[in-house]
Each structure stands twice: as C-alpha cells, then as structure tokens.
C-alpha cells in the first residue's frame, strides 16, 4: 500500500481569506493569550500532574501545543505516519498532547476503542468544535446525550436500521439508474468523486427523507459543510461566515418544506404514511415529542454525516478495484451472476444485496486502509482511570481507526489490500470505520446499500479506467481524492 505513504500536498485549492484569517488567529492571538496565561497554567498543570499520573507525552507550547504539527500532518493525510505513530513509538499507545487549546489524550488499540466508545455518556461525551455545533445546530443528535439521544436515535433508526431497508433497496436502485442515465450516459470522462457526491446527496434527500432535490440545493449544503471545521470567525469572507449564511438559507428552505408537510399530514391529505424519515420526524412534532428545530438540525446533520464519508468510501473502493484486477474480476463475477437471474431493468432486492458478499469485503478492506473518518474527539466528563493513568475531567480524548486498522496485532500484513481477510472474524472494536457504542454510525446500513448498489450498476454497465492512477489524497479535514478522481468511461454492449 505504498500510496498511503506517498501522498502529496493539496495543490488544488488556493489559500482563501478564511485560511489567512485562520493563520492570523493562530499566529497572533494564541501567543498573546499564551503569554497572559502561561504562568497560571503552568502552575496549575504541574500541581495537578504531581498528584495524578497523566499519560506521557508532550504538551508543546501553552495553548497552541502541538496544533500546528497535528494540522500539517492532517492536511497531507499523514496523521498516522507523521503524528500518531511517532508518538506511539515514543510514549506508548496512550499519550497526551495539546491540540487547539485543549489538553488531549490520544488512545490507540481495540481495548482503548472499546473502553472509550462504550462509555459514551458515562465517562465521556462527544466534543465538536464550536463551528460544527453552530452549523449543524445545537439540537442535532450529535449534541444530545443520554435519554434524549436514545429517543432521537430511535426515530432515525426506524428508517435507517435493518427493518427500514427492504423498501430502501428499490428506491436506491431507481436513484442510481437515474443518476447514471443523467450524469454518465453519453460522457467519456467524469469525476467519480463528484458523481458520488451528487448521488449520495439525492439518496439522502429523496430515498431517506422524502424531500425533492431542487437545483442549487447541493451547492448551498456544500457551502455549509466547508465551514464545519473552519475556525468560528464571523467576519465577511471567512469560510465560516459563508457557511453560516448558507445555513440560514437552508433553514428557510427546510422550514417551508416541514410546515407544508405538516399541513399535509394534519389535514389528512397524505392518507397513507409514506414511511419516509421526514414524515416520521414530523409526526413526532405533531405529537409534541420533537421540536421543529430538532427536525431541521437533524436533517442538516444527516446530510453532513452521509456526504463526504460515503463519497470517499465509494471513490476509494473503485480505486482499489482498479489497482487490484484480480479483486475486480471476482467482484464483476458476483454482479454478473446476480444480473443473470433478473429481467432487464428489474430492481435489486435485499436478497440480491446479501449475495454481494465479496464486494462488501472489498469495500470494508478499502475503509480499513482509507477510513473516511479517522477517529473522533470526546471530552472526559469525570476523571477517568485507564491503563494506570488518569485522564483528568475536562480533557479531550481522541480515539483513532489507525491504532487498530494499521496494526499487525489485529490485521496481518496490515498495509496490504486483502479483502478475503474478512472471511475470518476479528476482535471486537478492531475494525471501526463506523465507530462503536451508543454513537456507532446511524447510517451504516444506508452507506452499505449505497456503496453496493452503485458498484453493481457501474460494473455491469460500464468499462472504466482511472485517469490519475497515482492521485493523492488531501484532508480538509475529511479526506478526498485531490483531483476528484477523474475516470474514463465506456458503456458495455450487452
Ligand atoms: C461510508 C460511510 C460512513 C462512514 C465511514 C461513517 C462513519 C461514522 C462514524 C465513525 C461515526 C461515529 C462518530 C463518533 O464516534 O463520534 C458516525 C456517526 C454517525 N453517522 Fe455515519 N458514516 C458513514 C455514513 C453515514 C450515512 C450515510 C449516514 C446517514 C444518512 C450517517 C449518519 C450518522 C449519524 C447520524 C451519526 C451520529 C450518531 C450519533 O451521534 O448517535 N453516516 N458515522
Ligand atoms: C424500481 O423501484 C422504483 C422505486 O420503488 C419503482 O418506481 C420502479 O418502478 C421499479 N422498477 C421496476 C422495473 O420494477
């Protein structure tokens, strides 16, 4: 897997005003704050650490800590090689650092993942940057804890869990067929990453929520997503400022959709429940269990959670298929066999999906090597005792997929691409591209269907070739192929 280690800088995006503001922020504000609080913090820190054994590691400069090292490694998609791995070698699997002003403990390994992820709400809670919270909305499920979290997950889960899947399959088939007819047919060259983004967006809206996608909607949503990890600086020209404006536009649009739908349901115009997630949320609203803001914030969150993640997983799956012709041959065989038993144009069923066993192994192996989300931050809500160390209350904790995915303790010859390794079981919490515990990905089943159904229609209908076989990956902070993964396509004559 040399490609993971030979990734270059992002050459596609030029520095924007937002980035400049960002450097000014880190360059000027923090040293200033640092000077003011240096003595105070150092004093407090020493006394605390004398009493408790916090994990080993370096905190860097006050406040700014190792933020620059972290971001520089992340930008080049070398967070593992340049940041996490060297520190694991030096300090062990549990080490401390300071990122974005917060003392942070980074934990690695299946036991650590399990400990952290399954103790959500008890020892830790999710911890998102202020920009994410402001843009997703404070009432999205990522900001909810305990009972309220469980309730909203329940509502969302009825559409996204296993029972909701049966009707989703033909709808997804329809979306994929429509997408290929509209965006692939008659073309010679397309951006695969762009294509999957457009598709994933319409799948979330049309197949899951039951909202029609209007022209321009994707652009507005993407403007919001661009601000999710930018510093929350509210002055004209920054990414965050643009994102905030886009969020207001979306809110206006969604409020209109929600109120119209509510009228339809209340007026009995929509006699048969359509079974779509938006209708379920609105029924909750009518019964007084869910607020309008909760509905809107969760719609925005679902788009965010599904968008870049699924698109990256699909794009990298195709990249791996291109790089491993033997795997591609086996995948193709699987899908041709499914098609053989079908009439022309007949939709797939859940039974057909179950036959895509090897394709799902390929997709999982791809996500092992190229996790769309490398890990996520939590905050200690109490002093945590772990592996003989204390993680003090208020510190952040970061679990990573790298700690297990790239470790030969869990995956033999970890850097090689070998989908068949999933024939055998593996330790719990070793393969964690979808997280785990109470906050395990709510869209796991939808992501799986999206990937498998898209692969099915593409490999049975098209020949395709990567135009940049050695394309690098950029992280900003989610990973994407630097050039959008352009491919050449030819329709198959069958
Ligand atoms: C390949 C695609 C995807 C990957 C790799 C992925 C990964 C993840 C991960 C790692 C988490 C846990 C984050 C944490 O622990 O803080 C998560 C949470 C979540 N995901 Fe996904 N996801 C994907 C697709 C989707 C889709 C398609 C949807 C929905 C339409 C979705 C909805 C969610 C939601 C709602 C949460 C938050 C759950 C909660 O806080 O209870 N995801 N996802
Ligand atoms: C496939 O499913 C879609 C969505 O449910 C439906 O509209 C379409 O008629 C189905 N196609 C066939 C050939 O049955």
What is the pLDDT at residue 38?
52
Beta bridge partners of 408: none
What is the pLDDT at residue 42?
54
Both tokens assigned to 112: 């650590």
d(CA 205, CA 201): 6
* Closest to 375 measured CA to CA, from 2, 104, 122, 192: 104
What is the pLDDT at residue 24?
47
What is the pLDDT at residue 269?
66
d(CA 6, CA 15): 23
Both tokens assigned to 333: 């065989």
d(CA 393, CA 385): 10
| 312, 370 Cβ separation under 8 angstroms | yes
Question: Is residue 171 lining ligand 2, measured as CB closer than 6 Å?
Answer: yes
d(CA 457, CA 460): 5
Q: What is the SS3 assignment for 235? A: coil
Residue bearing tokens 């788009």 = 303
**Alpha carbon of 175 to ligand 2 centroid (Å):** 10
Backbone phi, psi, residue 333, to 5°: -55, -45
Tell me which DSSP letter residue 151 carries: H
Ligand 2 atom closest to Cα of residue 346 = 13
Residue nearest to atom 2 of ligand 2 (CA): 170
**End-to-end CA separation in angstroms for the chain:** 35
- pLDDT < 70 stretches in the chain: 1-51, 269-273, 494
Q: Given ligand 1 and candidates 204, 441, 479, which is best to mutate, with the most ligand atoms within 8 Å of its CB?
A: 441
**Percent helix, percent strand, percent coil in the chain, to nearest 5:** 55, 10, 30
User: Which whole-number Å values give the CA distances from 79 to 76, 129, 371, 474, 480, in the listed order?
Assistant: 8, 19, 12, 11, 14
Q: Given ligand 1 and candidates 309, 313, 362, which is best to mutate, with the most ligand atoms within 8 Å of its CB?
A: 309
Question: Is residue 441 lining ligand 1, measured as CB closer than 6 Å?
Answer: yes
Q: In what order do the strands lie in the sheet with 486-491?
A: 189-191, 486-491, 462-466
**Alpha carbon of 306 to ligand 1 centroid (Å):** 7
Domains of the chain, CATH where assigned:
2-491 (1.10.630.10)
d(CA 99, CA 477): 14
- Cα of 420 vs its chain's centroid, Å: 25
* Closest to 66 measured CA to CA, from 413, 398, 438, 409: 398
Both tokens assigned to 445: 């089943």
d(CA 190, CA 462): 12
d(CA 379, CA 390): 14
Both tokens assigned to 123: 């020892």
**Alpha carbon of 373 to ligand 1 centroid (Å):** 9
441 is in an annotated binding site: yes
What is the pLDDT at residue 4?
32
Q: Given ligand 2 and candidates 172, 173, 346, 352, which is best to mutate, with the most ligand atoms within 8 Å of its CB?
A: 173
Q: 408: burial class by Cβ within 10 Å (0-12, 13-18, 19+)?
A: exposed
Residue nearest to atom 10 of ligand 2 (CA): 347
- Which residue intervals of 228-288 are DSSP H helices? 239-266, 277-286
Q: What is the pLDDT of residues 84-108, one digit of tens each?
A: 999 999 999 999 999 988 999 999 9
* Closest to 366 measured CA to CA, from 310, 282, 409, 307: 310
What is the pLDDT at residue 270?
63
Q: Which residues are CB-contacts of 24 (< 8 A; sequence separation ≥ 6)?
A: none
Residue bearing tokens 């797939």 = 348
Nearest ligand by distance to the CA of 398: 1
Beta bridge partners of 94: 107
**Alpha carbon of 99 to ligand 1 centroid (Å):** 23
Residue bearing tokens 């996608």 = 213
Residue bearing tokens 């965006």 = 183
Nearest ligand by distance to the CA of 316: 1
């Amino acid at each position: 897997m040399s490609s993971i280690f030979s990734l270059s800088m992002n050459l596609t995006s030029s520095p924007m005003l937002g980035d400049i503001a960002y450097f000014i922020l880190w360059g000027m504000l923090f040293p200033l704050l640092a000077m003011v609080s240096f003595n105070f913090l150092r004093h407090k820190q020493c006394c605390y650490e004398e009493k408790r054994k916090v994990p080993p590691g370096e905190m860097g400069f006050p406040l700014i800590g190792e933020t620059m090292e972290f971001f520089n490694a992340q930008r080049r998609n070398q967070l593992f090689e340049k940041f996490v791995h060297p520190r694991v070698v030096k300090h062990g699997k549990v080490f401390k650092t300071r990122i974005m002003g917060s003392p942070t403990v980074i934990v690695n390994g299946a036991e650590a993942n399990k400990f952290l992820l399954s103790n959500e709400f008890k020892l830790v809670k999710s911890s998102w940057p202020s920009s994410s919270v402001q843009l997703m909305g404070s009432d999205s499920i990522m900001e909810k804890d305990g009972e309220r979290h469980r309730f909203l997950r329940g509502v969302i889960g009825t559409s996204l869990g296993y029972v909701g899947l049966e009707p989703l399959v033909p709808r997804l088939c329809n979306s994929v067929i429509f997408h290929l007819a509209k965006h692939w047919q008659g073309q010679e060259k397309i951006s695969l990453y762009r294509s999957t983004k457009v598709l994933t967006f319409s799948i979330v809206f049309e197949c899951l929520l039951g909202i029609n996608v209007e022209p321009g909607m994707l652009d507005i949503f993407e403007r919001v997503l661009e601000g999710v990890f930018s510093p929350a600086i509210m002055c004209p020209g920054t990414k965050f400022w643009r994102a905030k404006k886009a969020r207001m536009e979306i809110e206006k649009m969604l409020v209109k959709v929600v109120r119209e739908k509510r009228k339809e349901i209340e007026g009995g115009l929509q006699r048969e429940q359509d079974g779509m997630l938006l209708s379920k949320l609105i029924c909750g609203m009518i019964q007084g269990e869910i607020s309008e803001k909760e509905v809107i914030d969760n719609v925005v969150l679902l788009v965010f959670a599904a968008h870049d993640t699924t698109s990256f997983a699909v794009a990298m799956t195709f990249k791996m298929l291109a790089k491993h012709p033997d795997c591609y041959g086996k995948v193709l065989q699987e899908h041709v066999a499914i098609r053989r038993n079908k009439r022309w144009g007949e939709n797939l069923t859940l039974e057909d999906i179950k036959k895509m066993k090897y394709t799902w192994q390929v997709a999982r192996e791809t996500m092992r090597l190229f996790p769309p989300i490398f890990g996520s931050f939590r905050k200690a809500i109490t002093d945590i005792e772990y592996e003989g160390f204390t993680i003090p209350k208020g510190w952040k904790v970061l679990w990573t997929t790298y700690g297990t995915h790239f470790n030969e303790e869990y995956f033999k010859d970890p850097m090689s691409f070998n989908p068949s390794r999933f024939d055998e079981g593996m330790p719990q919490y070793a393969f964690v591209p979808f997280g785990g515990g109470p906050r395990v990905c709510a869209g796991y089943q939808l992501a799986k269907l999206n990937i498998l159904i898209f692969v099915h229609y593409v490999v049975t209908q098209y020949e395709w070739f990567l135009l940049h076989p050695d394309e690098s990956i950029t992280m900003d902070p989610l990973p994407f192929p630097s050039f959008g993964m352009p491919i050449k396509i030819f329709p198959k004559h069958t």
